[in-house]
Amino acid sequence: MRAWKMNRGGGIASLACVQRSDPALRPGEVRVAVRAVSLNHRDLLMANDGDGSLLVPASDAAGVIVETGAGVTAWRIGDRVFAAFFPDWIDGEPSDANSARGFGGGLDGLLAERVVLPASALVRVPATLEFAAAATLPCAGVTAWNALFEAGRARPGDRVLVLGSGGVSTFALQLARAAGLGVIATSSDDAKLARLQGLGAGATINYRNEPAWDRRVLELTDGRGVDLVLETGGDATLSRSIRAARKGGRIAVIGGTSGGYGGVLEPWALVGGAKTLVGELVGSRTMAESLARFVDENQVAPVIDRRFAFEDARAAFEHLAGARHLGKVVIELPGA
Amino acid sequence: MRAWKMNRGGGIASLACVQRSDPALRPGEVRVAVRAVSLNHRDLLMANDGDGSLLVPASDAAGVIVETGAGVTAWRIGDRVFAAFFPDWIDGEPSDANSARGFGGGLDGLLAERVVLPASALVRVPATLEFAAAATLPCAGVTAWNALFEAGRARPGDRVLVLGSGGVSTFALQLARAAGLGVIATSSDDAKLARLQGLGAGATINYRNEPAWDRRVLELTDGRGVDLVLETGGDATLSRSIRAARKGGRIAVIGGTSGGYGGVLEPWALVGGAKTLVGELVGSRTMAESLARFVDENQVAPVIDRRFAFEDARAAFEHLAGARHLGKVVIELPGA
Amino acid sequence: MRAWKMNRGGGIASLACVQRSDPALRPGEVRVAVRAVSLNHRDLLMANDGDGSLLVPASDAAGVIVETGAGVTAWRIGDRVFAAFFPDWIDGEPSDANSARGFGGGLDGLLAERVVLPASALVRVPATLEFAAAATLPCAGVTAWNALFEAGRARPGDRVLVLGSGGVSTFALQLARAAGLGVIATSSDDAKLARLQGLGAGATINYRNEPAWDRRVLELTDGRGVDLVLETGGDATLSRSIRAARKGGRIAVIGGTSGGYGGVLEPWALVGGAKTLVGELVGSRTMAESLARFVDENQVAPVIDRRFAFEDARAAFEHLAGARHLGKVVIELPGA
Amino acid sequence: MRAWKMNRGGGIASLACVQRSDPALRPGEVRVAVRAVSLNHRDLLMANDGDGSLLVPASDAAGVIVETGAGVTAWRIGDRVFAAFFPDWIDGEPSDANSARGFGGGLDGLLAERVVLPASALVRVPATLEFAAAATLPCAGVTAWNALFEAGRARPGDRVLVLGSGGVSTFALQLARAAGLGVIATSSDDAKLARLQGLGAGATINYRNEPAWDRRVLELTDGRGVDLVLETGGDATLSRSIRAARKGGRIAVIGGTSGGYGGVLEPWALVGGAKTLVGELVGSRTMAESLARFVDENQVAPVIDRRFAFEDARAAFEHLAGARHLGKVVIELPGA
């Protein structure tokens, strides 16, 4: 069977499709025939930065179980599944033990025709979801879910601010609206703002036209500020995001989407406003299960920007790197 | 100005429309010209049971501020408002101090042309809501809200069971769906079930045809049970409601809708299933504010069964007592 | 090596010490040389009620790792450990999957010289704890912990009511006091009440002298009621426990200590008082870890009523059945 | 009667004792004869920075009710009380409305022989507390309480790091220990470290000897980090505080004790470690009530560094500014 490999630090050019034999299953493992893989900004970071070691990329995949190892009772051949981002984080809070290793980072990833996964890391794909949609859930979907409902503690009646139209922000907009939350979205592109409005944003701000967009957020909320900001912007946005949050509000700080931080924080704004800055790290299998139920119940259709064939994985990475997409870049295999 | 009074225990027949003069405002009070009043099952209990004392009925009203007392800074003449059920419960948990007195019970109610209210008990009516809709929020709306999101701790991804088509259950169905929760609804009437499906119920059960409806709930949830039951049924339903909840699930016990309890509880089902039975008591002003924002954001239209004129208040009570409605019975005043 | 077996339903008389050979370890398992076993009321239920099947009794043990299976990286030979009650419940909420099988119930128990345990079920024994103390944590300790701090949501500033001097109640009294909570304790025996006061109870009630002990609780709390009741009494006490809780208060319903329920519940007391009845089921490995840290930090010394040698296990069971103990009955092995 | 006034920005030298007449009470107000006032670092900030306006200083006082206004039913003459820091924040979350005005800042303070207070802002002094102890609760006590148990969400089993020996840190150490939490404390002074150990710190770090004290915290916690840091240090400490917290841990950011922030934050540490930075702002009346019950129950004796007479208020401010104290500076009036 075939798998893609890349050199960490070797860039997209180092991606190569290789033949591998299927390893034998150990107790508690299952073999999954991959049907769809979704790419994340993190996969570009892995390609562009590292020690040259070989790695199968991609954390996000959905497929069909084709073999079960000894002691696996919860799954059967033919079950449609996706894998949680951190195979060791089942439930509860993050810890050094449960969220150290993720697919396509500390562990080999899932961009292959068949992969071996621990049975305990799997989540059932709801009947109404196609594989491509299910493949967007593990990283982007769960990150948005955690930022909204776990780390971010959004509650009905809350208003949320999402920044830009990256995979996590777009997902968060869709999930927030399906949960009845009010959403304000920003972008520098009016065409994208129109699409975000089509996905349910109640108000949008073009931050190129309104560089002081935090003040605009206050105006849109009667001077109060939003209950929750999903901070995906980095350096340029953190201080404004804090100001855009209400007294007692929360700012979920999400890594991996558009460069790092390093700017001057104004912690007095945290103290005077009793605001909370909460870092988050994808999420647990239990969060992924809740997300899958929720997406199914509410027929949330993850926005897929473009689909590529398995053979064209390199083109898919290049499309992602071009950063002109809105929504997810997905690689599909036969049977998807 | 005119107000309706009734004798507690005197029944609907004791309702009488009387002339009253407007009392002077004390510091911190406002005068509200009532535009709509919504009735609750609790108002029938007040009519049918009591010591014969005179009481202005009704806890739920919306209107316009026509006068503000000394020291009132948060409100202006012309503001559209409704009053929280417990004027003393602003925020936080219920206590003996904050939830002892409610309008139309411990305090005179709001079925009058003008009423005097403490400024601290008011909630702003969102621009998109008509008075009749706002008038349904204080008791039925907040009770459903609390049962779902505060006492009942429903979270995105959860499934909820609502019993019957009373005001609280119907409201809860609408709010739960707007929050993206899966909903199973029961009724003994196929026509009502069709309407509940139209309001978003993903599955319905006619409990006359399926007396063991708890088993049907388990089937509909792959044997797992729902995360939350809104128990409004009383004696006949509590044990089945507990069985219909998943391990670790919650049953919100709501009073005032259809008779009392008294049956044998099976606490072993609580222990073995790690289930929680949570009594709840309408809610705070802060909950009412969140509800108002949520109803506005999601354009939730409270189901109004029938509207009556102020002069026909007795007919409105009789219609409510007839128990053939689905949704709320509202009395409107000129300007509504 | 030797293990005790009993016939489920055969009573204490069916306990027999048998020779067994050590099975080989599978991947992820460890072998533990048992040093102390603690008995629970549940072990008597298992002895007295069942289908005659053979079972190694006891859920609670502490010992030393003597062998580790393939893939076990978190533990080393010589580590002092105890096992969580439910080996599959690591963290998060209870579910059908994670809390179906417990040692000495659905699974063979730990009353043996050596036992095989999944590495993921183990908790480290703090350096300051002797094996006998550690052996009391898995069932009685974690049940008290969950009832107080997880299911019961006790917070600093709260007052707690514990009923009687059984293992869970006594443990809960000690943990509550170490966490700074106020505690009221009941018993029918003045000598036991004196001991409970010595363990930190701020007030005690002899329920034989004061059958309306709920009223006495209200007096002791200025008419307010306690924030949390640990309901271990069953039929005779549930209604009074509900009345002894404050408005908005919680009653943790705990099984397995002194007979079942079946009495008439008064759900109106739940509704009118906005009270919560929360069933609970021992707890997770994460709770056991928190408990171990807490017991270590605060030098909580679990009350051990009497210690027996491994050979005298039957006498230990009979002492427990005699129900005159205060605190735990422990069986010690050489090296304890 | 006499009151102290100061010019905002005029420094301690601007403090002057003036004669004032008692104003008449409005409805809902009470008159309190002050018995003890406790000073906070914030009072120095008010003295040293401002627009020259006159202000009665001090947020923290305890005394005896000597007169009650119309409509006050919850209090009687002779009741011993203290006032919550924010008279408008009764319960629930902070908001623009409820925490804008505090005594001795937005409102005149309490350094006077008699003060007028809203009845709704009062908290009963437990019988076992002297006035001087009660006077330390409103700002320093509640700030420590909120940082630990509300904003900081400390739970039994947690370990906490407190920085230095200021009023809030010392209070937090005492409260944390009384709640059974493990505490690590830092100081640059071995004599102070010895006193902090005497108050219950399980481990101490002299940060002058160990400038990389965050690494020492990791060593003391087996490489894991503490669950909660109370960040009172400002610029010099924030980055180390974040590193000293465990994965998923919390850093409560507290203003007003030792200068501002402005340093470079490392939000990647928040993301990678899933850590939370939570700003907090003293707290609500409900928190003050819980604190009072807790201090009473556990006989927590707030550390009083030195007591001054009312006439010597200026010397008290100068002592506080000298910054050599450990614990609180209190001004006592006759009858304290």
What is the radius of gyration, based on Cα positions, of chain D?
A: 20
Q: What is the pLDDT of residues D85-94, one digit of tens each?
A: 999 999 999 9
**At C118, phi and psi to the nearest 5?**
-70, 135
**Phi and psi torsions of D131, nearest 5°:** -60, -40
Best of C91, C98, C285, C289 to disrupt the A interface by mutation (most A CBs within 10 Å)? C91
Residue D203 has pLDDT above 90, yes or no: yes
Kindly give, in sequence order, each residue whose CB lies less than 8 Å from that of residue B237, ignoring residues fewer than 6 positions away.
Answer: B163, B231
Separation of alpha carbons B94 and B97, rounded Å? 8
| pLDDT at residue D326 in the model | 86
The CA distance from A289 to the nearest CA of chain D, in Å, is 20
Q: Report CB contact under 8 Å: D273, A280.
A: no
- Identify the pLDDT of residue A123: 98
Provide mean pLDDT across the span A62-88.
96
**pLDDT for the residue numbered D233:** 79
Output the CA–CA distances (angstroms, integers) from residue D24 to B65, D5, D69, D117, in the order listed.
Answer: 30, 20, 9, 12
Residues C186-225: tens digit of each pLDDT: 999 999 999 999 999 999 999 999 999 999 999 999 999 9
Residue of D nearest to C287 (CA): D157
Q: At what angle do helices C41-48 and C313-322 cross, to 10 degrees?
A: 100
Q: Which residues in chain D are contacts of A246 at CB distance < 8 A?
A: 95-96
Q: How confident is the model at residue D289, as a pLDDT?
A: 97
Would you call A291 and B149 a contact, using CB atoms and an 8 Å cutoff? no
Four-point Cα dihedral A288, A294, A295, A299, nearest 10: 170
Q: Which of D28, D74, D91 sits opposite B90 (nearest CB)?
A: D91
Query: Contact D254/A271, CB-based, under 8 Å?
Result: yes
* pLDDT tier at A236, thresholds 50, 70, 90: confident
Read off the pLDDT of each residue in D102-120 and give the average, rounded to a whole number: 95
Convert the pLDDT of each residue in A157-211 to its tens digit.
Answer: 999 999 988 889 999 999 999 999 999 999 999 999 999 999 999 999 999 999 9
Q: How many residues does chain A have?
A: 336
pLDDT at D258: 45
Written as one string, the DSSP assignment of A103-161 is: BTTTB--S-BSEEEEEGGGEEEPPTT--HHHHTTIIIIIHHHHIIIIITT---TT-EEE
What pLDDT is attached to residue B264?
56
Q: Nearest-CA residue of chain C relative to A27?
A: C27
Distance from CA of D296 to the nearest CA of B (A): 21
List the helix and strand counts (H, then E) for chain B.
10, 16
CA distances from D266 to A238, A253, B293, D211, D270 (A): 12, 11, 35, 19, 7
Nearest chain D residue to B97 by CA distance is D74
Stretches where chain B sits below pLDDT 50 are: 257-262
The two three-digit tokens of residue A84, written as one number:
């949680």
Mind listing the pLDDT tens digit for each residue in D211-262?
999 999 999 999 999 999 999 877 778 889 999 999 999 999 986 444 444 4
CA A314 to chain CA mean position, Å? 20
Provide CB contacts within 8 A for B137, sequence distance 6+. B60, B62, B82, B123, B288, B291, B292, B295, B302
Interchain pair B182, A156: CB under 8 A: no
Q: What is the rounded distance in angstroms from the CA atom of residue D71 to the CA atom of residue C98?
A: 56
The confidence score (pLDDT) of residue B258 equals 45
**Does C255 score more than 80 pLDDT?**
no
Query: For chains C and D, what is the number of CB pairs under 8 angstroms?
Result: 55
Determine how β-strand C328-332 pairs with β-strand C304-309. parallel
Spatial distance between the Cα atoms of A316 and B96, rounded to a whole number of angstroms: 63
Q: Select from C149, C182, C202 the Cβ nearest to the Cβ of D155.
A: C149
* Residue A44 one-letter amino acid: L
Q: How confident is the model at residue A265 (pLDDT cuts 50, 70, 90)?
A: low
The full length of chain B comes to 336
Q: Given CB atoms, is C52 within the 8 Å cutoff of chain A?
A: no
Q: Return the higher-pLDDT residue of A275 and B261.
A: A275
State the pLDDT at residue A57: 97
Q: Which residues of B touch A159 (CB under 8 A)?
A: 293, 297
Q: Identify the CA nearest to B328 among candidates B312, B308, B298.
A: B308
- Give the pairing of strands A122-124 and A80-83: antiparallel
Q: What is the rounded distance in angstroms from the CA atom of residue B61 to the CA atom of residue B38?
A: 6
- Is the pLDDT reported for residue D152 higher than 70? yes
Query: B264 at the C interface (CB within 8 A)?
Result: yes
Residue C260 has pLDDT above 90, yes or no: no
- Give chain A positions within 8 Å (CB) of D256: 271
Residues 53-92 of A with CB under 8 A from C: 74, 90-92
Residue among B134, B146, B130, B47 at smallest CA distance from B83: B134
Residues of C in contact with A91 (CB under 8 A): 90-93
Question: pLDDT category, D49, cuts 50, 70, 90?
Answer: confident
pLDDT at D133: 96
Sheet holding D2-7, edge to edge: D16-19, D2-7, D54-55
pLDDT of residue C230: 96
Please check whether residue C280 touches B, CB under 8 A: yes
Check residue B326 and give its pLDDT. Answer: 86
pLDDT-derived band at A31 (thresholds 50, 70, 90) equals very high
B79 Cβ neighbours under 8 A, 6+ residues apart: B64, B65, B124
A290 touches B: beta carbon within 8 Å: yes
Helices (DSSP H) in C115-158: which residue ranges? 131-134, 142-145
Angle, helix A313-322 to helix A41-48, in steps of 10 degrees: 100
Chains that touch C (3 or more CB pairs under 8 A): A, B, D
Question: Are the beta carbons of A180 and B155 separated by less than 8 Å?
Answer: no
Per-residue pLDDT at C25 exceeds 50: yes
| C298 interface with D at CB cutoff 8 Å | yes
Q: CA of B161 to nearest chain A CA: how many angstroms apart?
A: 14
B117 residue type, one letter: L
Q: With an 8 Å Cβ cutoff, is C235 touching chain B?
A: no
Task: For residue D97, list chain B residues with Cβ-Cβ distance below 8 A.
Answer: 74
CA distance B117 to B61: 11
pLDDT over 90 percentage in chain C: 83
Average pLDDT for C8-12: 93
Judged against a pLDDT cut of 50, whether residue C308 lies above it is answered with: yes
Min Cα–Cα distance to chain B from D91, Å: 5
Give the list of residues 6+ apart from residue C287 with CB closer than 8 angstroms, or none: C142, C145, C146, C150
pLDDT for C258 equals: 45
**β-strand D276-280 against D245-254: which pairing, if any?**
parallel
| pLDDT given for residue C170 in this prediction | 95
How far apart are the C-alpha atoms of D234 and B259, rounded to whole Å? 59
Q: Does A26 touch chain C (CB under 8 A)?
A: yes
For the segment D123-144, what is each residue's pLDDT rounded down to a tens digit? 999 999 999 999 999 999 999 9
A275 and A250 in contact (C-beta within 8 Å)? yes
Chain B partners (3+ C-beta pairs within 8 A):
A, C, D
Contact D293 C178 (CB under 8 A): no
- Please answer yes or no on whether D180 and C289 come within 8 Å at the CB atom: no
**Mean pLDDT score of chain A:** 93
For C157-163, what is the mean pLDDT? 97
**pLDDT value, residue D263:** 53
Q: What confidence score (pLDDT) does residue A264 get?
A: 57
C35: which 2 tokens?
């040093």
What CA–CA distance (Å, rounded) separates B224 from B245?
A: 8
Distance, in Å, from the CA atom of C288 to the CA atom of D221, rounded to the nearest integer, reads 18
Q: How far apart are CA B229 and CA B160, in angstroms?
A: 6
* Shortest CA gap A275–chain D (Å): 5
**pTM tops 0.90:** yes
Higher per-residue pLDDT: D306 or B260: D306
Whether residue A74 and residue C90 make contact (CB cut-off 8 A), yes or no, is no
State the pLDDT at residue B106: 84
Measured on CA atoms in the order C140, C142, C145, C146, is the torsion positive or negative? negative
Q: Tell me the chain A residues in contact with residue D93 when contact means C-beta distances shorter than 8 Å.
A: 248
D324 interfaces chain C, CB cutoff of 8 Å: no
